[in-house]
């Protein structure tokens, strides 16, 4: 690191008051004041609109915090070590990606962080800090539950064997979109050592997460086995909350040693484009259309899109392809992409076929270099309003 080196700070979301409390009471004793202050400063350099900062020099940061460059580097490394910051480097320029702190439960259950905090503050103060985050369970032992079931209130006769294969856009808290099986999950389970063959492997969230990792990162069963072992403890228990971070690190290391061949994409007028959108990996789309400094950071964005939105994977690919072309290879913040998806949903775009017909097939209306719209009698009027809205959101 040099004083003339430039840096940008990015993040995925704002922090809640509870997360700041976790940082101040649980992370601070481990980090020390320099790293804690640095994280705080990084956060407040972010633009509230897109959670990206302006570009600054390390000298600016050094002068602002009154820290020499060596001390500043040590403070950054501490934040990296406990997964509060991911650092990306391009020659002498840096991007610091801020990560949210763990929940109180996640922190205390983390074998390393919980025990390290105890060693820093002592058992007595550790218990005091733990008590600050505990919530008393309301005693319902003298009550009987009288909650009505759906059938008690509503009369509804569903059609027999009715199945809705459509996917609907919108936030959900139960894992987002469901990915078709990419790997033979039974073979994956069989490949694991016996100590890891726990019931959690057959939970929906675990299976869905493994399939998403296989889909997004194109991992083999052997690679997924290695990643799963990295999040396991000696007693066979696993910390599933760490699997995305471990998978991303594994992928980054793999990418440095493998020459990735860019995808061959059908033309927009080719009917096979729909099947292409449904089956191509989002990382292949990033590899082809995103600028180099956006590709690695984009992996986390892709996983968030799949987790946060109940939508076909083909729609996610269409979104990435469309936005990256429109913005000349620059991948916007996750909140921006969510807004575009919401806009698509309002216009009736819910499936890969919809995205192809309404957006991909009509991309000739866009001039990426000037971001002007060519009027066409065959293009719905809402498309022009939508493209203008994209420019407004960017400004």
**pLDDT 10s digits, 336-384:** 888 888 888 878 888 888 888 877 876 655 444 444 444 444 445 555 5
Question: Which overall architecture, per CATH, does domain 6-104 show?
Answer: Orthogonal Bundle (1.10)
What are the pLDDT tens digits along the chain (395 aa)? 788 899 999 987 788 888 899 899 999 999 999 999 999 999 999 987 778 899 999 999 999 999 999 999 999 999 998 889 999 988 888 999 999 888 888 787 766 788 888 888 888 888 888 888 876 767 777 888 787 765 667 665 444 433 444 444 444 433 445 556 788 888 999 999 888 888 888 887 788 888 888 888 888 999 999 999 988 887 778 888 788 888 888 887 776 655 555 667 777 777 788 888 888 888 788 888 887 666 666 777 777 777 777 778 888 888 888 888 888 888 887 778 888 888 888 788 888 888 888 778 766 554 444 444 444 444 455 555 665 666 555 44
Residue ranges covered by each domain of the chain: 6-104, 185-255, 272-394
Q: Exposure pattern of 248-277 as b/e (b: 16+ CB <10 Å)?
A: bebbeeebeeeeeeeeebeeeeeeebbebb
Beta bridge partners, 96, equal 9, 87
Q: Exposure pattern of 306-320 as b/e (b: 16+ CB <10 Å)?
A: bbbbbbbbbbbbbbb
Strand order through the sheet with 85-90:
56-57, 6-10, 93-98, 85-90
What residues contact residue 133 under an 8 Å CB cut-off, 6+ apart? 21, 22, 104, 108
* Tokens standing for residue 338: 């969510």
pTM: 0.45
> What is the rounded CA–CA span in Å between residue 113 and residue 101?
11
Phi/psi of residue 303, nearest 5 degrees: -60, -40
* Tokens standing for residue 246: 């471990």
> What is the rounded CA–CA span in Å between residue 91 and residue 349?
41
Find tokens 């039974």 and name the residue: 186
- pLDDT for the residue 217: 82
Phi/psi of residue 97, nearest 5 degrees: -95, 110
* Tokens standing for residue 391: 């420019």
* Tokens standing for residue 90: 């391009």
- pLDDT for the residue 297: 65
* Total Cβ atoms within 10 A of residue 30: 19
């Amino acid at each position: 690191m040099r004083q003339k080196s430039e840096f940008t700070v990015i993040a995925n979301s704002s922090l809640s008051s509870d997360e700041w409390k976790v940082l101040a009471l649980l992370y601070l004793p481990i980090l020390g004041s320099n790293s804690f202050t640095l994280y705080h400063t990084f956060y407040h350099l972010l633009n509230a609109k897109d959670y990206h900062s302006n570009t600054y020099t390390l000298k600016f940061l050094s002068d602002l915090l009154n820290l020499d460059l060596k001390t500043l580097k040590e403070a950054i490394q501490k934040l990296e070590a406990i997964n509060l910051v991911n650092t990306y480097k391009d020659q002498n320029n840096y991007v610091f990606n801020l990560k949210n702190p763990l929940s109180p439960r996640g922190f205390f259950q983390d074998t390393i962080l919980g025990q390290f905090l105890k060693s820093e503050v002592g058992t007595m103060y550790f218990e005091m800090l733990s008590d600050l985050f505990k919530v008393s369970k309301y005693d319902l032992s003298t009550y009987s539950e009288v909650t009505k079931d759906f059938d008690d209130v509503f009369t509804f006769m569903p059609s027999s064997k009715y199945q809705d294969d459509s996917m609907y856009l919108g936030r959900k808290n139960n894992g987002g979109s469901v990915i078709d099986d990419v790997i033979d999950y039974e073979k994956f389970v069989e490949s694991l050592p016996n100590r890891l063959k726990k019931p959690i492997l057959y939970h929906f969230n675990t299976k869905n997460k493994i399939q998403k990792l296989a889909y997004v990162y194109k991992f083999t069963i052997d690679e997924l086995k290695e990643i799963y072992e990295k999040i396991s403890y000696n007693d066979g228990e696993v910390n599933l909350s760490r699997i995305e971070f471990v998978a991303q690190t594994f992928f980054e290391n793999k990418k440095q040693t493998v020459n990735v061949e860019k995808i061959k994409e059908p033309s927009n007028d080719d009917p096979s484009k729909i099947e292409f959108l449904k089956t191509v990996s989002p990382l292949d789309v990033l590899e082809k259309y995103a600028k180099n400094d956006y590709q690695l950071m984009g992996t986390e964005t892709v996983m968030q899109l799949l987790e946060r939105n109940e939508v076909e994977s083909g729609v996610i690919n269409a979104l990435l392809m469309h936005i990256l072309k429109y913005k000349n290879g620059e991948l916007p913040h996750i909140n921006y992409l969510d807004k575009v998806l919401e806009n698509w949903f309002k216009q009736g775009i819910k499936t890969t076929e919809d995205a192809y017909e309404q957006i991909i097939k009509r991309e000739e209306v866009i001039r990426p270099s000037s971001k002007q719209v060519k009027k066409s009698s065959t293009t719905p009027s809402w498309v022009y309003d939508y493209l203008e809205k994209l420019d407004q959101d960017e400004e």
